[in-house]
């Protein structure tokens, strides 16, 4: 009779401990899930901020390049090279005129606009 009572008491204590441990495990899982969600939120915000930063940088670079291309086109025209429309936009005629200029002045033929190219042109009458 005493053994049976002890077994019942032990079983009840075991169930109570098991329930407590189950609650603790569940609470830890919920905390981990909240932490993971917060990490993902922060990571997403950082990605969005980085994309915005890159877009601004790209936009500034495009503005710089448009101005550079426009000045190169004007220089090419002054030096009797045909850059096509003088509009700040790269086009096949502009690329060809740059290549001809680079060839005439012994530069590496890239056909690409750059600040260095523009400076070279301005030093040589462009």
pLDDT at 33: 95
Q: Mean pLDDT across the chain, nearest whole number?
A: 88
Taking the alpha carbons of 81, 83, 84, 85 in that order, is the dihedral positive or negative?
negative
DSSP 3-state assignment of 125?
coil
pTM over 0.75: no
**Where on the phi/psi map is residue 88: left (φ > 0), alpha (ψ -120 to 50), or beta?**
left
Share of the chain above pLDDT 90, in %: 59
């Amino acid at each position: 009779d005493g053994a049976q009572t002890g077994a019942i008491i032990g079983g009840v204590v075991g169930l109570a401990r098991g329930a407590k441990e189950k609650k603790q495990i569940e609470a830890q899982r919920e905390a981990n899930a909240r932490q993971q969600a917060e990490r993902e939120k922060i990571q997403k915000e950082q990605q969005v901020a980085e994309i915005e930063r890159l877009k601004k940088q790209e936009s500034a670079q495009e503005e710089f390049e448009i101005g550079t291309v426009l000045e190169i086109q004007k220089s090419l025209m002054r030096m009797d090279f045909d850059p096509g429309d003088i509009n700040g936009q790269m086009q096949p005629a502009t690329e060809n005129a740059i290549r001809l200029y680079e060839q005439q002045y012994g530069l590496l033929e890239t056909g690409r606009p750059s600040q260095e190219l523009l400076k070279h042109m301005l030093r040589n009458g462009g």
